[in-house]
Structure 1
């Protein structure tokens, strides 16, 4: 299936003033309600990573969980879950980070990665980059490296992609929206 960015982008629903006034939330739910769009997204990520040298897929809570397991299965890679605080058992590493809306904490099981492992981090959207930067810090604390940060949508004006690239993490997204795109 040929990737059609316009078709993909047209399905992402803008929701003004959610979760707070002045914010335009990018609702990706319609992408998952369209079998064609889901296949386009998955196939695009698979084509990007099928020949790449990395060891794991790291899915970020919560919407990264929608694509992470599919990619791990299709690429035959282990799946690592980066979860919101209090959702994982066993020995954990945690990282506090800032979002557009305040502080948050992300956790990962401490034995998820080893020295020499490399991870593609997957999430739905890159805004300020806080969640992906926190997952990258956790990955590095386990002795592994981030191969790339990937998402469906980039909001470049919020600076997340730039912040990731400034610390040496390549970024790949399927589409981008300017803040004033409605």
Structure 2
């Protein structure tokens, strides 16, 4: 998708040192958004983003909460581009480049099935951020050889359920683990 030189220049600081690709996408309202892989330089930004989600959102998306514990944050920052991967969505908010969403997958070494989570800042929900992030994450998972991608979500997380159904995931209630919904997508037959 073509973008003006001004948009590319504004995102340049975030992309000039990347070894992996990045994407600039337009949201439904025309707002440009940069999607790129999580990097070490994002540690403080990612920590702030996750804390700003609030307990309710963190519980919805990750079935837990985040605290100031460095260990949890270290786990979320630990990506290897094969079994653990994460993409950030960045956009200008009040003329400051801000993390507005994150999507990640994780799998055990040698597994062909990965689990994912996606979270979007409250002000940016229902604008296409999660769809774009999950699309890129699924493309990467397919390229890395995964055959299925899934998530286990709180049953009352209607936004995730709508997103999963819109993107073609199968959905089933899983009462064994509490009121949860299991979303699964076959990437490769």
TM-score, normalisation: structure 2 = 0.30
